[in-house]
Amino acid sequence: MSLLDVQNLSLSIAGTPILRDVSLTLAPGEVVAVTGESGSGKSMTALAVMQLLPSAAVATGNITLDGNDMLALDESTLCTLRGDLVGMVFQEPMTALNPVQTIGAQVGETVRLHRPDLDPKMQAREVLDRVGLDAIPLTRYPHELSGGQRQRVVIAIAIACRPKLLIADEPTTALDVTTQAQILDLLKQLAADDGMGLLMITHDLAVVAEMADRITVMHHGEVVEAGDTPALLANPQHPYTQALLAASDHQVDLPQTQKQAPLLRVQNVVRDYTLPRTRLFVPAGTHRAVDDISFDIKRGERVGLVGESGCGKSTLTRAILGLEPVQRGTITLDGTPVTDPSVRRKMQVVFQDPYGSFNPRHRVARLISEPFHLLDTTPDDREARIAAALTDVGLSPEDAQKYPHQFSGGQRQRLAIARALIIRPELVIFDEAVSALDVSVRAQILDLIADLCRQYDLTYLFISHDLSVVRTITDRVLVMKKGQIVEAGETEQVFTQPAHPYTQTLIEAAPTLPGAA
């Protein structure tokens, strides 16, 4: 008997078709993955099951959850079922959690609403222990936790009442590989222990290959292919599924380059942060985020930096950009300290979230020309450079008069790259530049970076938790753990013959497609 049965589900919002004849089933204890590109309708299908839809949405078809006709129930009954019969893990835990309430109060709220006979505090402690947070007090706030810990809290809220169905919407997108492996193992264990059905929404086919019993592939609001995971991955029938698999294992044709003298030199750098006082009249402690790090990046070299969340990657990046002081050591670009104002124009950064790094009220022409405030340029020269930068990243000069919200996620990332390259910097830092993109858009952005390397002989530091991306887009890789570089070397050598146990752990934790190199 099916726990969840969706038949011929169609959905429109204000007259715009979103879903067309979507059908899928899920049995108790089964893991079903819904995959596809951004905008394919994956999340809207999950929200339709929960009936968390906009007021202008009109749904037709049938959604049966444990015998309940979800489309026919009133809001009061639906509120009773949400959290009790079905739980949901949202994509961004920091947004899903209340920043002014403790994690104990937020987990206990679900228990108080659906299980009034139980002690909310005791139940919150039990369920947080179950998701691996036994060392975390109930009095902690979300901002005091790491990304992986916040994701575990969201899972704890969703399973507090032991629902029969758990919907996980991109639960590992922004997590590093070891934390991702822990979260995936946790979800599989919960499904096995409780006989809970798990509907997993993700664009990462490598995760799907390890997690799911069956796969449903969606494209433009329709199900284009569905089947058992091993059979579908081994022999995909639909061209779209084949394209997704090809993009997931995409290898970039990175051009050869002549590595010259060192451009960036990091020598014995130490960065400490002062911790809050624990008692009156007791000296404040310090936390060492970067611990005696040294490395060089040669002109024309492409270097990757990998490590878990909290290892010090972001602190090191800010120090390289001259945005944070260091307690000891030196960082120089072409022989000049990075704290010198003249060095700022020689470095640019591509941020993880392009939409968050753009002012939504400004047009593209103003946004990507922001680095020009460092240079003396004429209006005509500026307009020509804007047109050339947009053309270089695969957009058109006419796009200069548009706003950021008029572009897709992949196009916004192209705009971020155009802004970084418009003044031809000597060093570019890519900070998780492709981590939030689906596989096909990610492949396009990586190909774009390779093409720009051919045109401009780029020198860059590529920071990412996605090891498959780092492997294909860099010449050399640095592995960072607890503020130290524990391994460094040629990319292929580090991946095929890792010397440090931590590097071996990272590579083993990374999900891979069956048959992928």
Sheet holding 4-13, edge to edge: 16-26, 4-13, 57-65, 68-69
For residue 467 the two structure tokens come to 């090891």
How many residues in total does the chain contain? 517
Instruction: With residue 430 as reference, give the H or E element that holds it.
Output: strand 427-431
CA nearest to 206, candidates 458, 509, 502: 509
pLDDT tops 90 at residue 358: no
The reported pLDDT for the residue numbered 515 is 56
pLDDT tops 60 at residue 453: yes
The reported pLDDT for the residue numbered 517 is 42
Sheet holding 484-490, edge to edge: 347-350, 427-431, 460-463, 302-306, 476-481, 484-490
CA nearest to 459, candidates 375, 348, 342, 322: 348
Q: Which of 126-130, 277-281, 283-287 has the lowest mean pLDDT?
A: 277-281
Higher confidence at residue 516 or residue 267? 267
pTM of the model: 0.81
pLDDT tops 70 at residue 374: no
How large is the average pLDDT for residues 448-454?
A: 88
Average predicted confidence (pLDDT) for the chain = 88
With pLDDT > 70 as the criterion, what percentage of the chain qualifies?
97
Per-residue pLDDT tens over the stretch 424-433: 889 999 988 8
Per-residue pLDDT tens over the stretch 100-140: 999 999 999 999 999 888 899 999 999 998 888 888 899 99
